[in-house]
Chains A and B, each alone.
Chain A
Amino acid sequence: MGMQSNLGRVRGMGSAKDGVHHWWMQRLTAVALVPLLLWLVISIIAHAGAGHEAVSAWMGQPVPAILMILLIIAGFYHAQLGVQVVIEDYVHNEGVKFAILIGLKLLTVLLGVASVFAISKLAFGA
């Protein structure tokens, strides 16, 4: 039972105040990435050596565009959670750790949004 109060136990949030959210999102994105990555590998093989026209036409179709956006979101989310844990394990200076984590979070959002923008541009043929 430990030293937690009853309220603390039912909330189940622990000292980091977000409970199992990090752990759960890492697993959820992992499950999503299994079929999405197999699709990506098959797609890359199918488009090996393809030129700009063929790739644009492929990304111009709804299903590949949607799957690619899902892959980008799940992939960058998963990468951000994973790299965060590695940094927390190996970077021991609090200030440096904090700065790297902020940079990591902002960078992954930037790269994710840039990728989704590129896919959307191809999908809508602008």
Chain B
Amino acid sequence: MTEEPALGVDFESEDFFSREHEESLPLRIRRLVNSQPFAVLCTHGNQHPYGSVVAFSMTEDLAVAVFATPVTTRKFQLLSQSDRVALLIDNRCQHLDDMMHVEAVTATGKAIRVEEGKDHEYWMRLLTTRHEYLSGFVQSPTVALFCIEIARYFHVVRFQEVRQWTPKNKPG
């Protein structure tokens, strides 16, 4: 049985190929997601695409990701226009000289702003457990907290080998 890291805490980096044949796709996705503290958030609005790096955290079942952004940003404005987003998580910085070792997931989903209230505290904690240095940032009144309900993961290895996985607790 594979030991699972504590949620949102470890930014571990493991060799993918050594485990390739042992692990299920969800475990591989989890491993990758846990190894990367940052993701590229893809947004769009009024026919314009945009990408931004965000610090994120995931629920244990990988069904929901959480991130925060100041309300004065372009990505916030686009999120207000369209809730459909994608999140790219990859380990390319660890394999700059070897494309075949690069592993990536693209999670597609719907971004929902978490309003102040009971759930807000939960999502905020999920994010700051992994990114403790963001504690002050997320509490600022000019910062909005977003959850992404993930519909599907596209997992890519070996340049073009793509598989997809749907989290069990897929919303809807």
**Mutual binders A and B:** no
